[in-house]
Amino acid sequence: IPPERIRNFSIIAHIDHGKSTLADRLLELTGVISKTGKNKQVLDKLKVERERGITVKAQSVSMFYEYKGQQYLMNLIDTPGHVDFSYEVSRSLAACQGTILLVDAAQGIQAQTVANFYLAFGEGLSVIPMLNKVDLPTAEPERAAKQIESAFEIEADRILKISAKTGLGIEQVLPAVIEQTPPPPGSAEKPFKALLFDTWYDTYVGVVCLMAVKDGSICRGDRIVSSHSGTKYEVMEVGVMHPEQTPTTLLRVGQVGYIVCNMKSIAEAHVGDTFYRDRFPVEALPGFVPAKSMVFAGVFPIDAGEFDRLNESIQKLTLNDSSVSVHKETSAALGQGWRLGFLGTLHMDVFRQRLEEEYDTNILITSPTVPYQIKYRDGTSKFIRTPADFPDANTMNDYVESTMEPFVISTLIFPEKYLGSMLELCTTHRGELQNHTFIDESRVMLKCRLPMAEIVTDFFDKLKSKSQGFASFDYEEAGYDASDLVKMEVLLNGEAVDALAAVMHKSSVIVAGREIASRLKDVIRRQLFDIIIQTTANGKIVARETVKQLRKNVTAKCYGGDITRKMKLLNKQKEGKKRMKRIGKVDLPHEAFLTIVKRS
Ligand code: GTP
């Protein structure tokens, strides 16, 4: 198939607006998957993704489609829908020329619709607007179309109205893509040049690289070179995703396909890298800014004997997610472990769930923190990934010029009646209002500058509860600014527990200090002695609580009673023990390490 009849496109949408369902419909229509419901939702491959109904890792599929008597090769490049993964969105977009902007006709434009639109617009892609879920009784396609018109300057009559669920209007989708998306540029005569935009580890063939061929062609046996490292590789297999890896004899200009070569580990595959044919160097494509970790958390085995097994699990998981950064960490309280860096809190949760489910590991995860920056008087500066590294209150004034924290610009979209509570939410999280505009008669888009740390805690949950689920939220990074930061320490019976320390803004100290102490009191079980909990900041005690000693045997009250009840109680205790860590003489349950996140 010549490049004129190839279309590389993606679907961008807010979470739950129906991207995966639309992709399934298109794959059925083109016969890539059957209608029997067997291999549904090929795009959402990972188990966690299916469970949570979110796409985390981008997948891509090639399909054939006949239009006006001619065969077209349609490459659908999948993009994740969540804020944490906007980095993956932009790298997937770099492989396409067009994108379907899918909007739920009942919900209208949401925060990620806006963010994704600007990413696509910035890449210079043609945007093909579509309204989905028009079958819903609550659908208001006219209103949603007006929002699209006013927010993105797209004419309302250009917008297709479809239902990915019932199949209504589906037959118009691929023709619209063909007509509104330019074919991939590039030349068959020029030497081979390809952009690596995704990579994963396959148990059978090893590292698989997904590439968009920009010029020339490639086949098995060719030798290719990475512009990034200069390393030479021999191509062992080329093919397309249809929907699984399907070998072909050749990958040509304009195509999107996979290449297996003798790469040993996924660390060699740099997303954004340009590959060329050995002895025919080309100018490298712009590439991508590497993913930045914005949330860090400590991960420790509960039982030190599990260290090696956990190490293996983390390595296996990061094999397919190069956006997780891994550093070894030693905590006085928790022993040897790791400090992992994630793109955001959802990314962290997904990773944790995978670690627990797929590898059945018994782990402790500490409260997430953002990367703080310390500027010293001698002109140097340092990023702080763990509160334990934050300068000591005593020496702070001698060496430190300023403490800095990362900020974001957030976009919130919600019905007008929540304007008051949304403004309040932003100000109580140290937000600085930038502007608010109406995207239709009754929906507001609000822009606000917030410290990243505020989002890492409970911002999202509160946003949802205060707006009864009607507000959506997205953010982009907005650099660092000086901020009055303090380290809060937690002492148990007079001893500081490094894994419970947290960095926070000075203004939060009193409230957070009291709350952390009282939450710890709630989660720490009574033991055979009193446990004094103290929180301190700048060497001063902020709050103090006591967990009174235990007097009676827990099961004593059951003696002579119902045996099943006693078993239940003991089992419950056993359950609890599974996730306990002994610090000094005190047993701390897993929840203790997360008390800092859950501020009220
Ligand atoms: P992410 O992967 O998280 O980005 O979500 P998604 O955009 O892929 O959404 P998905 O396709 O999983 O659809 C979300 C929900 O909307 C599912 O319960 C679908 O069944 C439903 N849905 C999708 N399209 C339609 C539609 O046209 N009509 C109706 N009524 N429901 C739909």
Is 242 a known ligand-binding residue?
no
For residue 135, how far is its CA from the centre of ligand 1 (angstroms)? 12
Q: Which helix (H) or strand (E) holds 115?
A: helix 111-122
Is 581 a known ligand-binding residue?
no
Cβ contact 257:248 at 8 Å:
yes
**Sole residue written with tokens 């796409």:** 55
Q: How much is the ipTM here?
A: 0.97
pLDDT at site 572: 56
Q: What is the rounded distance in angstroms from the CA atom of residue 269 to the CA atom of residue 208?
A: 9
For residue 80, how far is its CA from the centre of ligand 1 (angstroms)? 14
For residue 370, how far is its CA from the centre of ligand 1 (angstroms)? 32
**Could you tell me the mean pLDDT of each successive run of 10 residues in the chain, 600 residues long?**
92 88 90 64 47 50 93 87 64 88 94 87 93 96 94 92 95 96 94 90 85 94 93 95 87 94 85 91 78 85 84 80 84 88 82 75 81 93 89 83 94 94 94 92 92 86 88 88 93 89 90 88 85 90 89 54 58 54 76 61
Atom number, ligand 1, closest to the C-alpha of residue 166: 27
pLDDT at site 81: 53
Q: Is 497 exposed, middle or buried, given 0-12, 13-18 or 19+ CB atoms closer than 10 A?
A: buried
For residue 377, how far is its CA from the centre of ligand 1 (angstroms)? 54
Cβ contact 442:415 at 8 Å:
yes
pLDDT at site 571: 59
Q: Which of 20, 44, 51 for a ligand 1 pocket mutation test, highest count of atoms within 8 Å of Cβ?
A: 20
- For 96, left (φ over 0), alpha (ψ -120 to 50), or beta? beta
**Sole residue written with tokens 């061929």:** 213
Determine which residue's CA is closest to atom 18 belonging to ligand 1.
Answer: 16
Is 254 a known ligand-binding residue?
no
For residue 147, how far is its CA from the centre of ligand 1 (angstroms)? 20
Is 429 a known ligand-binding residue?
no
Is 215 a known ligand-binding residue?
no
Written in H, E and C, the secondary structure of 494-524 is CEECHHHCEEEEHHHHHHHHHHHHHHHHHHC
Backbone phi, psi, residue 98, to 5°: -145, 160
Atom number, ligand 1, closest to the C-alpha of residue 164: 27
Is 79 a known ligand-binding residue?
yes
Atom number, ligand 1, closest to the C-alpha of residue 81: 4
Is 563 a known ligand-binding residue?
no
The residues pairing with 587 across neighbouring beta strands, listed in sequence order, are: 582
Atom number, ligand 1, closest to the C-alpha of residue 168: 27
Q: Which of 10, 11, 17, 21 for a ligand 1 pocket mutation test, highest count of atoms within 8 Å of Cβ?
A: 21
For residue 81, how far is its CA from the centre of ligand 1 (angstroms)? 12
Among residues 6, 532, 500, the alpha carbon closest in space to that of 217 is found at 6
Determine which residue's CA is closest to atom 1 belonging to ligand 1.
Answer: 54
pLDDT at site 596: 57
Is 133 a known ligand-binding residue?
yes
Among residues 358, 320, 317, 357, the alpha carbon closest in space to that of 338 is found at 317
Atom number, ligand 1, closest to the C-alpha of residue 24: 11
Determine which residue's CA is closest to atom 26 belonging to ligand 1.
Answer: 133
Angle at 106 between CA 24 and CA 137, to 5 degrees: 90
Among residues 91, 170, 96, the alpha carbon closest in space to that of 130 is found at 170
Is 287 a known ligand-binding residue?
no
Q: Which of 165, 166, 347, 472 for a ligand 1 pocket mutation test, highest count of atoms within 8 Å of Cβ?
A: 165
For residue 17, how far is its CA from the centre of ligand 1 (angstroms)? 5
Q: Which residue ranges have their beta carbon within 6 Å of ligand 1?
A: 13, 15-21, 53-55, 81, 132-133, 135-136, 163-165
H runs (alpha helix) in 400-477: 419-428, 452-454, 460-466
DSSP characters over 249-271: SEEETT-EEEEEES--SGGG--T
**Model confidence, pTM:** 0.76
pLDDT at site 431: 94
**Sole residue written with tokens 């390595």:** 315
For residue 119, how far is its CA from the centre of ligand 1 (angstroms)? 22
- Taking each helix axis from N to C terminus, what angle separates 19-29 and 173-180, rounded to the nearest 10 degrees? 90
For residue 24, how far is its CA from the centre of ligand 1 (angstroms)? 11
Is 14 a known ligand-binding residue?
yes
Q: What is the rounded distance in angstroms from the CA atom of residue 354 to the CA atom of residue 352?
A: 5
For residue 109, how far is its CA from the centre of ligand 1 (angstroms)? 15
Atom number, ligand 1, closest to the C-alpha of residue 55: 2
For residue 53, how far is its CA from the centre of ligand 1 (angstroms)? 9
E strand spans, 68-111: 70-77, 98-104
Is 286 a known ligand-binding residue?
no
- Residues constituting the chain: 600
Among positive and negative, which fits the CA dihedral 217, 220, 225, 227? positive
